[in-house]
Amino acid sequence: MATVMTQPRQVSRAETGDRIFVVGGKLLWLLLLGVAVLMPLLAIFWRGFSSEAGQGGGLVAARELVTSANFHWLLGNSLKVSLSVAAIVVPLAYLFAYALQRTLIPGKAIWRGLSLLPLMAPSMLPGIALVYLFGNQGLLRGLLSDNIYGFWGIVLGEVIYTFPHALMILLSALSLADARLFDAASSMGASPARAFRSITWPATRQAVFAAFCLVFTLTITDFGVPVVVGGDYQVLALEAYKAVVGQQQFGRGALIGMVLLLPALFSFAVDAWLRRRHGDSMSGRAQVFQPAPSRLRDGFYLAIVLLICAALLLVFGMAVYSSLVKFWPYNLSLSLSHYQFEDTAGGGWLAYRNSLTMALCTALVGSLLIFTGAYLMEKTSGQKGLNLALRMLSFVPMAVPGLVLGLGYVFFFNLNGNPLHVFYGTMTLLVVCTIAHYLTTAQMTATTALRQLDAEFEAAALSLKAPLYRHYLRVTVPICLPALLDIVRYLFVSAMTTVSAAIFLYSPDTILAAVAVLNMDDAGNVGGAAAMSTLILFTSAGVSLLLAWASRGALRRSQAWRQTAPGQ
């Protein structure tokens, strides 16, 4: 019998290039995530428990910290504030989201835009506005029996700061509704209240818990509002900031950072467990729910929306107005003197230019890296272990507060003998830290868009022997351009307003606008702080509107093929 000789299949240059693109890209992304996410977190634990590190660290110092009366007082204050804020914000955000998604109130786009204003400004802005409204010389000082400084000042400021974060979660949850369930409930004679208890609430309670955990975590780790209106009411986040920046007790700061990490990790773990139990709330045959007209219902929810938006406009309008007042409260004539930053300490126009530079670099570089990383994980086969490691590292920042991540960057990149020490205090490190801080949300946006693409696109590319990178650039990116622009917008706004992580990493040459707000307020220049906050607000809002307009146009062009009939 003749022996049939087979020649080994020749590997084409396109296949070799694809393998380099996929495997090399994944390994590079893993290396970047390891340096930007994993190593700083490990550095926190090392600095906190290493007695050699000194400066308030070590097991003995940890025991002394958690058993001290001052720590118990700080922890109690932090828990009291965080629980109070979450208990106020979540019901308000739920009512607001319900009004936008389940009623027929007019002007929904306007109310939604106004509700997201706090995302466009640093967390100190609500506190500054509250000082001008209810402070010792505030415009509405007579409405309060006591001044705004202390517990209620922090609570009110954090309520304004965290409201849109909870709202976005609840808007997403309430957007999913199967009309068949409500039709069945109506045919059985169920009242609207009964339908809410049996249909709406079970479908959204997991989102309510997620919103509660998010608000709690944002509040307990924020020091921007307590710095401005906290007064003598001290919290853990502010103590960590003072320990590192004011007292140079890095070990103590690391220990407090680990304490602040615990509620975030607990919330993240419980939320993930509930998501697995909850499963999908919509079936593939679900019908879109359209609320029925009801004047009484719509009038009630419109009143709630108007009250919340009026409160937000009062706060942000006061911040803008105070930045234009010449000398509060003795000379209320309008002037741009507070915008002459070159005459004041705190960073001035250099800080604003630095923030613009960092925001642009974060948005452009971050969106490119995150979207490409998501593509490699979602649209390529093989390397399952590598994909799992990438997914785990990509989700870690969601459970890590910015304050804790910033401390980790100090301990890792400022470590003696670390060759990456050359980046400490540079704009490069600020960009890397900001990308890592906001990585998870951006990656989830990219993943959602990529999963909507049919696998036939990749199959067609393989059948045509087209290189994968060319298919990625010419097909995937144009189709997903709206989602990519959303990521750019999210990263830009987040970089403009961030302060929690960046507060530990800047140098005199790389000071940021949000940090300058903190410095000017600390120096007593509240008008200058309001002016810089206003600049950040209008810059973020302007870029967001521009990118939203570009995204809408890109959506029409990139999705035009879906509306094209066969044969046309």
What pLDDT is stored for residue 567 in this prediction? 45
Q: In whole angstroms, give the CA distance from residue 506 to residue 426.
A: 7
| Mean pLDDT (the chain, rounded) | 83
What pLDDT is stored for residue 542 in this prediction? 94
Q: In whole angstroms, give the CA distance from residue 532 to residue 516.
A: 8
Which tokens belong to 213? Answer: 């955990």
57, pLDDT greater than 60: no
> If you count DSSP H runs as helices and E runs as strands, how many of each does the chain have, helices first?
27, 2
Q: What would the pLDDT profile of 222-266 be if each residue is shown by its tens digit?
A: 888 999 998 889 999 888 888 877 777 777 888 888 888 887 778
What pLDDT is stored for residue 169 in this prediction? 85
443, pLDDT greater than 60: yes
Report the predicted TM-score, pTM, of the whole model to 2 decimal places: 0.85
**How deeply is 177 buried, as exposed, middle or buried, from its count of CB atoms within 10 A (0-12, 13-18, 19+)?**
buried
Three-state DSSP class for 327? Answer: strand
Length of the chain in terms of residues written: 568
3-class SS letters over 335-361: CCHHHCHHHCCCCHHHHHHHHHHHHHH
Three-state DSSP class for 325? Answer: strand
Cα-Cα end-to-end distance for the chain:
57
Q: Kindly state the percentage of the chain with pLDDT values over 70.
A: 85
Q: How confident is the model at residue 353 (pLDDT cuts 50, 70, 90)?
A: very high
277, pLDDT greater than 70: no
- Half-sphere CA count of 467, side-chain side, radius 13 A: 14
What pLDDT is stored for residue 176 in this prediction? 67
- Which residues face 327 on adjacent strands? 331
CA 36-215-300 angle, 5° bins: 140
What pLDDT is stored for residue 565 in this prediction? 47
Q: What would the pLDDT profile of 160-212 be if each residue is shown by its tens digit?
A: 999 999 998 888 878 766 666 665 666 676 667 777 777 777 878 888 888 89
18 against 560, higher pLDDT: 18
Q: How confident is the model at residue 548 (pLDDT cuts 50, 70, 90)?
A: confident
Q: In whole angstroms, give the CA distance from residue 387 to residue 368.
A: 18
Q: What would the pLDDT profile of 108-165 be if each residue is shown by its tens digit?
A: 989 999 999 999 999 899 999 999 999 888 888 877 777 789 999 999 999 999 999 9
The answer to whether 395 touches 377, Cβ cutoff 8 Å, is no
271, pLDDT greater than 90: no
Q: What are phi and psi of 288, to 5 degrees?
A: -65, 130
The answer to whether 51 touches 501, Cβ cutoff 8 Å, is no
Whole-Å CA distances, 511 to 250, 430, 500, 505: 21, 10, 13, 9
284, pLDDT greater than 60: no
Distance from the Cα of residue 184 to its chain's centroid: 39
Q: In whole angstroms, give the CA distance from residue 102 to residue 501.
A: 37
Q: How confident is the model at residue 35 (pLDDT cuts 50, 70, 90)?
A: very high
Q: In whole angstroms, give the CA distance from residue 326 to residue 427.
A: 34
144 Ramachandran zone, left/alpha/beta (phi>0; psi -120 to 50): beta
Amino acid (one-letter) located at 492: F
Highest-confidence segment of 46-55, 199-208, 320-329, 426-435: 426-435
The answer to whether 231 touches 150, Cβ cutoff 8 Å, is yes
Q: Is the peptide bond before 482 cis (omega within 30 degrees of 0)?
A: no
What pLDDT is stored for residue 226 in this prediction? 92
- Which residues face 39 on adjacent strands? none
Q: In whole angstroms, give the CA distance from residue 471 to residue 461.
A: 7
What domains, with CATH codes, occur in the chain?
Answer: 64-279+296-334 (1.10.3720.10), 345-561 (1.10.3720.10)
What pLDDT is stored for residue 278 in this prediction? 60
Q: What would the pLDDT profile of 285-334 be if each residue is shown by its tens digit?
A: 555 567 777 899 899 999 999 999 999 999 999 999 999 998 888 888 88
